[in-house]
Amino acid sequence: YSKQKSISDWNEEHVSSWLQAIGIKPEHIWKLKAEEVTGPVLLNINESYLKKLGLGGGQIQLLLSKRDELLLLDKSKTIKKRGENREEAKHEVVSSSDVTSPEQPLLSSDLTETSVSLPQSRYRKLNDNDEHFSYIKHAILPPETGIDNLITPCHEYKSLENACKLEPRKLKIKFASEVIRFACACMNMRANGTIHFGVMDKTKTSYKHGEIIGIPIEDKEIFQEALDYIEKCFPALHSDARKCIKTPKFIPIVDKGSQTQNWIVEVDVVPMVNIVRDKLYSAHIPKFNEKTNKIEYEQKAYYQRVGPNTPRITEDELVSFSQALKDLDQKREQEENSQNQTQAHFKEDLERKLLVLLTRGKKYMDNTLRYILVSNRFDQENLQNIKFLVQMNIFCVFDYDPDSKSSGLCHNYKEHHAVNLHFLHDYDHRENTVDLIKKLQLFDRTSWIFCNGRSDYNGGESPCDEKTWIKTKKKLLKRSVSVICNEILPKGSFVVLFIHTHITLQFKSISSPVIRMGVYLGHEDIVIISVSREIYKKWSSLAQVSCLLDILEQISVVGMPMSHINATIQVHQLTCHQDGCLPVSNNGVCFIKSVDVERMNSLEVVCVDQCDETNVDLMEQEQIQKIEQYFYQGGKIDWVNMWLADNNKCEEVIKRDAYAEISKMLEDLERSDSLKRSIENINIYHEPGSGGSTVARQILWNWRKKMRCAVVKQSYQATTVCEHAVQIWNYEEVDKNACLPVLLLLEDCNADYQDDLRRELSNAVTTMKISPSKLCFIILCCKRSLDPERMCTALPLRTVGVTHKLSPAEKKLFSKKAGSLKLKFEPEFILTFVLMSKEFEQSYITGFVENLLKEIDHSSLQTQLIKFVALLNSHIENSYLSISHCEAFLGLGIHLDKFDKMAKPSTSTWIDELKSSETHISSVRIIHNLIAKEILKQLSSYQSQSEIAMSLLQDKVLFDHRFGRDDFRKFVRDLFIKRTKKSKGDPNDSWFSPLIEHVRETEDVEKAIDLLKLAYTSFDEDAFVAQQLARLLNENKNFEEAEIWAKRAKSHLPQHIYILDTLGQVYKKWFYSKHDAICKKNADIQPEDITDIIDTALKGITAFRESEKCPQSKMVCLNNSYFGEVDIGCRLLELLSNVDIFSTKEGKRELMDYLLTDYIPEEVQKPWQRFHGLLKGMKDSIRIALECISDDLAHFQNFTSEEEEELAEGEPETVNNPRKWLLRKSAVYAKLFFHDIQEDEASDANIVSPLMRQMKIFQLGGGNVTTILYLLSDNNKQRAGAKLEKIIDLFPVNLKKDLDQTGLINFIFCQIALSCASPGSGKLHSIEELQNISRRFCSEKRTALPDTAYLLLSILFWPEDSMGKEPSNTRSDIVMNAIKALQRYSEIKSASSRKGRIFTHFFLGKARGLNKIVHKTTIEKFCKGTLSERRLKWQGGEVWTNPDVVKVLKRVTGYTENGNLFVRVSDQSNIRVIPLFSASLPNSNENVAFYLGFSLHGVVAFDIKVAE
């Protein structure tokens, strides 16, 4: 056996054969083959890889143990062989590792129990001229046969292994002699037969008996001409022989590894009774005489078939054989007749087969399965019959027709459905699966994948030939299939449907990878429809390389025309495709095409005739019960559930009291007299499990005939949702001012998204010039909250709370309903409903969980699974575990019913649900988070939450499981880092994730620390986990370790603003701790005592400064690090002032000298030598930090309401009222730098040094724009005026000479603020004086001014007279230049959406002089209501209709051009104005009027109206 190979030399065929021999399931063998598992791969294969491929635990165990046995055999074999020669080796028993090369397979007798078995093959049908039939090399044909009945052919094999190398003449003789002997025997036996050349007949070689080897053929004529010997061999009856012996058939052999083509030559013999009746045939067999070099003929002889052999009939047998011929003729005749009858009668029930394959055994086709369609070219006739495809739930199409978009299947399908056109490379992604689904919109529209280019596409994806396709696209196809079937769609949730209607030139090249795709999936997921037997034959001959022909037959529907398929499937489809209906303003309805609905894919539109297309007669009662049961078990209510209830096919769904409240609100809004806004909000806050989302959906369902209704899919941006909402609003409507309102349901969205959507809709309404009091959109926002009653106080008239508490009327309804449901369902199937009717009483929950856990086996895998899910569900909202993960964990195979059988009986708390519109993963969760919490509580004596979390983190199976991996990892990661927020409806704002909070409070801080350490490694050294750990250690005052972890987080993300901030916070707390410790001692503090403390403080300041300088900090409104820097800086300066040498009055002055000049006292020279530079810069650095905070606050609005935006990853806690904090800290900072000035000293400006004066101004709140303007928020304007007068007194008399730029800006702002607080004050300068002072800014051309200076110039110089009569051009130039400068600043500043809204400080009033400047607080005073209501008034534009506001503010005239708004400030110059809120621009070029606001972004416009 020189060619015998060790495992490392095996190819895929060898591995497949071995796998078959050891008993691995065929579907797994195909997968491993498709994955190109060769010998070297087999040697290194491991358990996790096999799990990813979907092998069950048992199969993996078998494969790995047999592989290890194989390795031992292979090693011993190698050692043995070294000392043996070739002859000895021949007699050795071959071990399982001795699989030969394809050319040298094994002897059948050589195989041990772990031996290799080769694939079985089947015969070509007798006398069938199927040109597409082929054999696979090394497949095994059944053993040679004798005669069973006369019609079923007998078979004889000849290898021609040596003869095929002979010269043509000799080969011809050899072939003829074998054919004629065999044919003579068959004719005498009256039996059909086939002789095969190229198939192993003897077993003395390394090949198996019946193994297909094939022969190389250069000239087919040799074999065809060989039959010309018939005349000489059958001299008397040669015409009979010609009729019975058919021409040779040449069957190609498929051999992937070979470059040369081999063939099997087959000759059929069919002795029809009308030819052979009463005749006995003899033949002269030809043979070649080597000596004479001539052909000779043997003597006449008669032949017969005895078993698989063809011996002569001896003279002794001849008489009896001749006598038996009559009976044989009779038998032959009978069998020929009966065969004709069976052929006429046998018909496969294709309708049933088609339905069973497509529905997996259901009686009807619904949307539970998704279909992946693989198609080739459709001709026009077949395109008329695709309605059944239009009504199927098609996920994606692999289309090999390059013209499909212009004239093929895609073109026709697009008339009914919206599709996304893709190429194979679109699926070759590197992002996570969720992002890919989002990017390609995979569950919103059918993805149409052009596998061989697109002829109508300009982007360079042209069709290609076979070679190019294999080179460029084959791998991409495999990748696409793998992504869709292994990462996106769960196993068992889809069927791959191949439709063959046409054969194209490229069919062969394309077929192979497509079949491989089928192999890759496993045949149970595949259905093949071939409209003709011809196409099927061609396809199956190529497909048999990867899939046995018998299996292909089982999954194929062959010979059914498209028109029949179309009609047959439609009869069994649960829903028929039709256009929907929408209500219209004239009380009628209009049709909306389904393709239009699908194009609005950010909305789930609820039509008037929603679900009417459902064929309820097809639905079984069991299916209807399943829909109901899903809802009563805690699932989200389905539209079809409400439709069935309306049609009395199932129980009615209870309406909670909140339903009537919301209906009343909608009725009020509908009444035209009540309207104020074009966009209204209604909020529903509900406790989880109280039925709030059901109420919201019932509202949509029952209002769908009066309004246009839709559910918003929040995976889409607000701009897209707005665009689609507007399309549905005016669809088929003539008069835009008469359109019905659109009711949009937003479920569990954050406040920002709601605001963005509202703003977009508002802009759209204004753009379309709709009357502002016309109701266009109602946003019904449904949010979970643990305290719905508290949330209602924000907008009491437009908010409804739904709690677990039932009203007396609801209690009656619920108990009656519970009674009727108990008759219909098992108690565990209506558990959520029962809990709800019991108002989620703690005692009931406790009892229920006790009962559940009574019999539980704490060591079982099922129990461990329940613990994991309970842990996730009790802490992470909307979390779940995919069924695929559960099966992997329990070591089950692929199928869902296995999980049901295995896990379901162990607990009635599961609910299976098809996950959100984004991932569509079948998953499990516990029916309610209160149950989940109770399970954890009662299990705590067996296993604490920290121990469960530890086990979860250490579970390699769950972590490595490929399907649904992104979601799983996100949920588990959130367990450790996601904090709660009141604004999200949580009971409190937590400092850590709820799990970590629980462990550190009820178990032990050390356990929480260990958990986070393990999480850090489990999530590949996640920087944010390290950050949480640093925060936990910091909180626990374990500062050294906290520093290590914060630095570790920084090493992963060195430029991350929040991580750098955390490092700063660690040092800050550490510094505070050291500071407090030294102050407690009450001893004199020496400079050397605090060296270490100063070091820690300065490290903190350095970390905060790094955070401030981060590129990311530009994207964040109010960088927390500035607050940290100021806090540390002020506390450090205070500490320095307590040091012994600086603690006296003289010492204070010395400290000031030290901090503000080059002077260094001797006592601190050495101990603080590392810090002198940083300490001397403290005064300026703190002032700069305060200014940065002031700057951000002056630029951007920050609503400090309950509804703050969700914390981003790692974001620190923020200061609650930053303006108030700034005022307070400015005072603290100022106090550190001046000694107490006596009252009389303060009034004499000459005595006080400029520094002292500056610090006193700071202390009173005059140090920056934000604190000055914050003084105006005091409701007592007199008090605010008095403070401002006091500040103004502190400024020097000669403003121009004695004030720097910042001082001058602050002085003018104090003047403007004073005019707003106390217009009659004697300290006020006139506007002309202020204009004069501020001209100094205009002269400072070289230096860049702060934007606050430009804001002042734009306010002071804004022309008071009508725009046309401009007294001085210089004045308009000043305004122009100032506003342009602000707009330049603003473009840099607000590059980020995270920064928030523009802050408008002042408005232009009707008065003159300084009184024309109206501060925002004046307008705010006129708006009554809660913070949320006031926000709505600003956003909805109601502020501008308030009579008090109208009285005070002045409308400015301007014009619009190309979508921009301008105001003219002189004949030559105009200024661009930014429109704010719903003050969106008209589309056309119009004259407009609006209210003008002044901000640091330039001038802004409110309430834009087209001028009459």
Q: Write down the pLDDT at residue 782.
A: 92
Q: What is the mean pLDDT of residues 601-625?
A: 86
Identify any residues that bridge with 1413 across adjacent strands, giving them in sequence order. 1404
Q: How buried is 23 (Cβ within 10 angstroms: 0-12 exposed, 13-18 middle, 19+ buried)?
A: exposed
Q: Write down the pLDDT at residue 432.
A: 78
Q: How many whole angstroms separate alpha carbon 814 and alpha carbon 1013?
A: 48
H-state helical runs in 522-561: 533-543, 549-554
Q: Write down the pLDDT at residue 1245.
A: 47
Q: What is the mean pLDDT of residues 759-763?
A: 84
Q: Is the pLDDT of residue 168 over 60?
A: yes
Identify any residues that bridge with 446 across adjacent strands, giving them in sequence order. 419
Q: How many whole angstroms separate alpha carbon 679 and alpha carbon 770?
A: 12
259-273, 421-435, 704-718, 1034-1048: range with lowest mean pLDDT? 421-435
Residue 1485 CA to its chain's centroid (Å): 43
Residue 817 CA to its chain's centroid (Å): 39
Whole-prediction pTM:
0.71
Q: Is the pLDDT of residue 113 over 50?
A: no
709 or 752: which carries more pLDDT confidence? 709
Query: What does the DSSP 8-state code read for residue 125?
Result: P
Q: State both tokens at 1503.
A: 């309430």
Contact between 656 and 691 (Cβ < 8 Å):
yes
Instruction: Say what percent of the chain tops pLDDT 90.
Output: 21
Q: Is the pLDDT of residue 246 over 90?
A: yes
Q: What is the mean pLDDT of residues 788-806?
A: 82
Q: Is the pLDDT of residue 1200 over 80?
A: no
Contact between 351 and 568 (Cβ < 8 Å):
yes
Q: How many whole angstroms separate alpha carbon 1166 and alpha carbon 1174?
A: 15
Q: How many whole angstroms separate alpha carbon 1125 and alpha carbon 1115?
A: 19
Q: In b/e form, how buried is each residue of 114-144, taking b as 16+ CB within 10 angstroms?
A: bbbbbbebeebebeeebebbbbbbbbbbeeb
The model's pLDDT over 1455-1475, given as tens digits with 9 standing for 90+, comes to: 888 778 888 877 777 888 888
Q: Is the pLDDT of residue 746 over 90?
A: yes
352 or 448: which carries more pLDDT confidence? 448
Q: Write down the pLDDT at residue 343.
A: 63
Q: State both tokens at 1339.
A: 């002269």
Contact between 422 and 448 (Cβ < 8 Å):
yes
Q: Which residues contact 551 (CB under 8 A, 6 or more apart)?
A: 26, 523
Q: Write down the pLDDT at residue 1048.
A: 92
21-35, 58-72, 87-101, 444-458: range with lowest mean pLDDT? 87-101
The model's pLDDT over 548-560, given as tens digits with 9 standing for 90+, comes to: 777 788 888 888 8
349-363, 508-522, 1290-1304: range with lowest mean pLDDT? 508-522
Query: Order of strands, edge to edge, in the sheet holding 799-802?
Result: 603-606, 708-712, 742-747, 777-784, 679-686, 799-802
| Nearest CA among 1017, 896, 1018 for reference residue 958 | 1018
Q: Is the pLDDT of residue 1117 over 80?
A: no
Q: Is the pLDDT of residue 1208 over 80?
A: no
Q: Which residues contact 196 (CB under 8 A, 6 or more apart)?
A: 141, 155, 156, 157, 158, 264, 265, 266
Q: Is the pLDDT of residue 83 over 50?
A: no
Q: What is the DSSP string of 1290-1326?
A: HS-S-HHHH--HHHHHHHHHHHHHHHHH-TT-TTPPP
Q: Write down the pLDDT at residue 1455.
A: 87
The model's pLDDT over 383-401, given as tens digits with 9 standing for 90+, comes to: 888 889 998 999 999 998 8
The model's pLDDT over 20-72, given as tens digits with 9 standing for 90+, comes to: 888 888 778 888 887 888 888 888 888 888 888 888 888 888 888 888 888 77
374 or 1: which carries more pLDDT confidence? 374
Q: Which helix (H) or strand (E) holds 319?
A: helix 315-345
Q: Is the pLDDT of residue 293 over 60?
A: yes
Q: Write down the pLDDT at residue 1344.
A: 74
Q: Write down the pLDDT at residue 1188.
A: 85
Q: Write down the pLDDT at residue 1403.
A: 92
Q: Write down the pLDDT at residue 517.
A: 57
Q: In b/e form, how buried is each residue of 1476-1499, taking b as 16+ CB within 10 angstroms?
A: bbbbbbbeeebebbbbbbbbbbbb
The model's pLDDT over 997-1036, given as tens digits with 9 standing for 90+, comes to: 999 999 889 999 999 999 999 988 899 999 999 999 998 8
Contact between 678 and 767 (Cβ < 8 Å):
no
Q: Write down the pLDDT at residue 275.
A: 92
Query: Order of strands, edge to edge, in the sheet holding 526-530?
Result: 419-423, 446-450, 394-399, 370-375, 494-500, 526-530, 556-558
Q: What is the mean pLDDT of residues 1052-1057?
A: 88
471 or 94: which carries more pLDDT confidence? 471
Mean pLDDT of the chain: 82
Q: Write down the pLDDT at residue 699.
A: 95
Q: What is the mean pLDDT of residues 1363-1378?
A: 66
719 or 1460: which carries more pLDDT confidence? 719
The model's pLDDT over 856-877, given as tens digits with 9 standing for 90+, comes to: 788 888 888 889 999 999 998 8
Q: How many whole angstroms separate alpha carbon 1504 and alpha carbon 1357?
A: 23
pLDDT band at 1239 (very low <50, low <70, confident <90, very high): very low
Q: Where do we find the tokens 């613990």?
A: 867
Q: Write down the pLDDT at residue 615.
A: 82
Q: Give the highest mean pLDDT range of 110-114, 208-212, 760-764.
A: 208-212
Q: Write down the pLDDT at residue 75.
A: 66
Q: How many whole angstroms separate alpha carbon 458 and alpha carbon 979?
A: 50
Q: How many whole angstroms separate alpha carbon 1295 and alpha carbon 1311?
A: 13
pLDDT band at 905 (very low <50, low <70, confident <90, very high): very low
Q: Is the pLDDT of residue 1205 over 70?
A: no
147-161, 852-866, 1410-1424, 1441-1455: range with lowest mean pLDDT? 852-866
What are the two backbone dihedrals, phi and then psi, of residue 779, each rounded to the nearest 5 degrees? -95, 110
148 or 1216: which carries more pLDDT confidence? 148
Q: State both tokens at 256.
A: 């992937």
Instruction: Say what percent of the chain tops pLDDT 70.
Output: 87
Q: Give the highest mean pLDDT range of 98-102, 117-121, 1310-1314.
A: 1310-1314
How big is the chain, counted in residues?
A: 1508
Contact between 1269 and 1222 (Cβ < 8 Å):
no
Q: What is the mean pLDDT of residues 265-278?
A: 94
Q: Write down the pLDDT at residue 1066.
A: 94
